[in-house]
Amino acid sequence: MMELDDPICDEGAAAAVARALAHPARVRIVCLLLSRPGCFGGDIVAELGLAQSTVSEHLRILREAGIVAGEAAHPRVCHRLVPEALAPLGRLLDAVAARAEAGTLTGSICLDTDTPGAGR
């Protein structure tokens, strides 16, 4: 059984990544950067079809979460993914998928009357 102090359950880091990804435009930016090793801001604006200021705000949120890094290529900025920043959420989702595949997340697990506090 997984303990709450297990690295898989780094709730603070996983929640921070989830918050940063909690908008469809930011998920689209991550998907775009998955398909390209680096992308200029103007190209992201063109791909998403959103205002430049909107894309800049989404990129700011992704940079603050460490998910995206920007490298100056004056006068533009080239954006790239920082995969290790996604790792805390990835580990949690991988654990859920593995348990679902193993069949350990189904059934009536809360009906154990031998466990104190069960069924409450």
Q: Give domain limits for the chain.
A: 7-111
Distance of alpha carbon 18 from alpha carbon 86, whole angstroms: 9
96-100, 101-105, 108-112: which is most confident: 96-100
pTM recorded for the entire structure: 0.78
9-13, 53-57, 75-79, 104-108: which is most confident: 53-57
State the pLDDT at residue 106.
Answer: 73
Q: Enter the tokens of residue 34.
A: 């998955």
pLDDT tens for each residue of 3-61: 555 656 788 999 999 999 999 999 999 999 999 888 999 999 999 999 999 999 999 99
Class at the top of the CATH hierarchy for domain 7-111: mainly alpha
State the pLDDT at residue 38.
Answer: 87
Residue 112 near residue 120 (C-beta atoms within 8 A): no
